[in-house]
Amino acid sequence: MSRARSASTCHRVARAQSGFAHAVSGPLAEKIRKVSQRLKYLPNAAASSLRTLRTRTVGVIVPDITDPAYPPIIRGIEDALAANGYVAILANTMAMRAASSVSSRRCGRVPWMA
C-alpha cells in the first residue's frame, strides 16, 4: 500500500509543479512550491519533453563556428531563447554531419546562417 500511495503522491506533486492548480488544493500547492524552492528542485527536462512531446530546443547551424562574426549573433540567439525557456544546440556545417546531428536531437526549429 505504501508504494501505491508514494506513486500517487509523486504524481500529485509533479502535477502541482507543472502548473496544474486543480490537481491539489491551494494550501498544499503553496506548501509544494515552498519545499521545492527550499530544496532547489528543478524539473527533469527530458522527462517533461516525453510527456509534452516538445523539447523546447532550437538547433542553430552556422557555416564556420570559428568565424568571429557569429559568436555575438549566437549569444543573442541563446539569450533570447533562454528568456523564453528554450535552449540552443549549435552545429557547424564545416562537418557535413551538422544537420543530421541537430535533427537527430529532435529540435523543433533549426535556423541556418549563411
Residue 98 near residue 91 (C-beta atoms within 8 A): yes
Residue 46 C-alpha cell reads as 527530458
- For residues 65-69, average pLDDT: 89
**Using one digit for the tens of pLDDT, what is the confidence trace for 12-30?**
677 676 666 566 777 887 8
Residue 78 near residue 26 (C-beta atoms within 8 A): no
pLDDT band at 1 (very low <50, low <70, confident <90, very high): very low
Question: Residue 18: its pLDDT value, please?
Answer: 66
* pLDDT above 60: residue 45: yes
Question: Which of 19-28, 44-53, 58-67, 73-82 comes out lowest in average pLDDT?
Answer: 19-28
84 versus 93: which is more confidently predicted? 84
Distance CA 71, CA 34 (A): 39
- For residues 30-47, average pLDDT: 82
* pLDDT above 90: residue 75: yes
Question: Residue 112: its pLDDT value, please?
Answer: 55
Which domains are seen in the chain, by residue range?
Answer: 2-43 (no CATH), 51-104 (3.40.50.2300)
